[in-house]
Amino acid sequence: MFSPAFIARYPGFIDLMGSVKMWRLWLRLGWMDILRRYRRTKIGPFWGTLSVGAFIGAMGFLYAGIFGQDPSEYIPYVAAGFAIWLPLSTFVVESTSTFITAENTIKHSAMPFTVFVWQAVIRNLIVFAHNLPIYVLVAVIFSVPLHINMLLVFPGLLLLLINAGWLGLVVSLICTRYRDVQQLVATIMQMLFFVTPIFWQAGQAGRVRTIFVELNPAFHLVDIVRSPLLGIAPTQSSWLFVCGMGVGGWVFALAMFNRYRARVVLWV
C-alpha cells in the first residue's frame, strides 16, 4: 500500500481513498438521514416538496406577470432551477457543520472525515430526487416536449456532484476552524440565490450579464442540470466552466485537506 512517509505527507489523500472504499457506509448514513425525516412525519421530506411546489406555483405566476413572460415557458424554468438550487444551497449551508456534528466519531476513531461529506452529498441528492416530481408535474401541465437533450441530465448531475464534493469539503474545513464563517456562508448563499439566474433568465441580465451569468459559478452549476431538464443542451462554456471548476476545486481542496487534515480533530 502506501509508505508511512506518504501517509504522513498526504493525509487528506489517504482519507479520500479510505472513504471511497467505505461507500456502503456513507450511502447508508445519507439514506438513514432521510429515513429519520420520514419517521417524524408521515410524508417526510415530501413536506419540503410541497413547500417547493407552493413556492414555485405562487412565485412562478407572479414573476411571469412582472417580467411579462409566457407562464408555459417561465414556470417550468423556475421549477427546474429551484428544485436544483434548494438542495444545493442547503448542502453548502449544512457543510458548515459537517465535521462539528461528527465530533464524537472524529475524536474517537480513525474514520475518514470525507465519509461525512459524502453523507451530506447523498442526503441532499435524495432531497433533490424528492423535488423532481414537482418539475415533472409542471412539465406535464405546461407540456414541455420530450427531447433527447434530457439525457444530458446525467452527465450534468455527475459534474454537479463532483463540484459539490470539493465545495463541501472546503466549507467544512474552514467552518470547523473559524466558527464565525458559518453565518457568512448562509448570507452568501442567500445572496447568490438573488444574483443567480433562477427566478430571472440569463437573457434578462443585459449589460451585467458577464458578471452575474458568465462568471457566476452558481449559474453554471445550476444550468448544467436545469437546461437538460428543460430539453436544452447546456452551452459549451457551461460544460467547460463546470469541468474546470471541478478539477481546480479538487486540486485546491486536496491541497488544503492534506495540509489541515491532522488539525481537524483539534478544531472540533
> Interface with another protein by CB under 8 A: which residues?
4, 8, 11, 22, 24-25, 28-29, 32, 36, 39, 104-111, 177-181, 184, 261-262, 265-267
CB-CB contact of 126 with 45 (8 Å): yes
| C-beta closer to another protein: residue 93 or 265 | 265
Number of H helices, E strands in the chain: 13, 0
Which residues are within 8 A (CB) of 216 and not within 5 positions of it... i.e. 6 or more apart? 195, 196
Q: In the complex, what is the shortest distance from the CB of residue 28 to another protein, in angstroms, rounded to a whole number?
A: 6
| C-beta closer to another protein: residue 74 or 113 | 113
- For 42-65, give the DSSP string: SSTTHHHHHHHHHHHHHHHHHHHH
Q: In the complex, what is the shortest distance from the CB of residue 263 to another protein, in angstroms, rounded to a whole number?
A: 8
- For 233-266, give the DSSP string: PPPHHHHHHHHHHHHHHHHHHHHHHHHHHHHHHH
**Alpha-carbon distances of 209 from 51, 57, 194, 213, rounded to whole Å:** 30, 27, 14, 5
Q: In the complex, what is the shortest distance from the CB of residue 107 to another protein, in angstroms, rounded to a whole number?
A: 6
- For 121-170, give the DSSP string: HHHHHHHHHHHHHHHHHHHHHTTPPP-GGGGGHHHHHHHHHHHHHHHHHH
| C-beta closer to another protein: residue 111 or 232 | 111
Q: In the complex, what is the shortest distance from the CB of residue 188 to another protein, in angstroms, rounded to a whole number?
A: 13
CA distance 120 to 26: 9
| C-beta closer to another protein: residue 116 or 200 | 116
Q: In the complex, what is the shortest distance from the CB of residue 191 to another protein, in angstroms, rounded to a whole number?
A: 18
| C-beta closer to another protein: residue 17 or 111 | 111
**Alpha-carbon distances of 146 from 125, 134, 151, rounded to whole Å:** 23, 16, 10
| C-beta closer to another protein: residue 104 or 143 | 104
Q: In the complex, what is the shortest distance from the CB of residue 162 to another protein, in angstroms, rounded to a whole number?
A: 24
